Amino acid sequence: MVDVVDPAIIAYRPAAGFALNTNPLETNLINPGVVPAPLAYPGRGVLSNSLGNRERTILNTIRDAEARYKEATDRLDQARMRLRRAKVRADEIRVNGIFRMQEEKQDLVRPADGDSKRLEYSKNATICLEEHKATEQVCQQVSRLALDRALKALITRSSDELQLRMIDHNIGLLRNVKTKK
């Protein structure tokens, strides 16, 4: 508190110069002591009630803040727990997805592999069959050519009777070959 000197206490007197005024009525020294005293006694209860109310309000505010803080930390812990569970679940889904993808890949590869093996077998069987057909055709052509040459040679070298016997003999051989097939 700053000490302020009332200007009425120090007075300028032209004859004496500056001097101190000691008259209590002129300087108003009684009023500051008399007026606050009756106000302080009844106001004391008001002030203590006001301070008590303020103290209770502050304590209630602190309790509410602590309760909200505890509730917020509980919710934060729950949120962190849910986040951990979500991360674990996401990892499980990712692993299951990779596993299923590999299974699907295998499921697609296996039939294709089987189809590939069947096509290879079919190709080999077709090649073998075509080789057999070609061999038979070549054999038949060679046989015909050989028979034609033999017949021409017999015709030029043999008589009619020998030719008829040879023809009958060859026809018999051909009938035996046909019945065996």
Which residues lie closer than 8 Å to 8 by C-beta, 6 or more apart? 21, 26, 27, 28
Is it the case that residue 15 has pLDDT exceeding 90? no
H/E element, 29: none
Helix (H), strand (E) counts: the chain:
4, 2
From CA 29, how far away is CA 5, in angstroms rounded?
Answer: 11
pLDDT in tens, 58-98: 999 999 999 999 999 999 999 999 999 999 999 999 999 99
pLDDT at 64: 95
Of 128, 170, 176, the residue nearest 136 (C-alpha) = 128
Which residues lie closer than 8 Å to 108 by C-beta, 6 or more apart? none
From CA 20, how far away is CA 9, in angstroms rounded?
Answer: 6
Q: Look at the alpha carbons of 44, 45, 46, 51 in this order and tell me if their dihedral is positive or negative.
A: positive
Instruction: Enter the pTM of the model.
Output: 0.38
The pLDDT mean for the chain works out to 81
H/E element, 13: strand 10-13
Cα-Cα-Cα-Cα torsion 75, 80, 86, 91, nearest 10 degrees, comes to 180
pLDDT at 1: 43
pLDDT at 78: 96
pLDDT in tens, 31-55: 666 666 666 666 566 667 777 888 8
Mean pLDDT of 103-116: 85
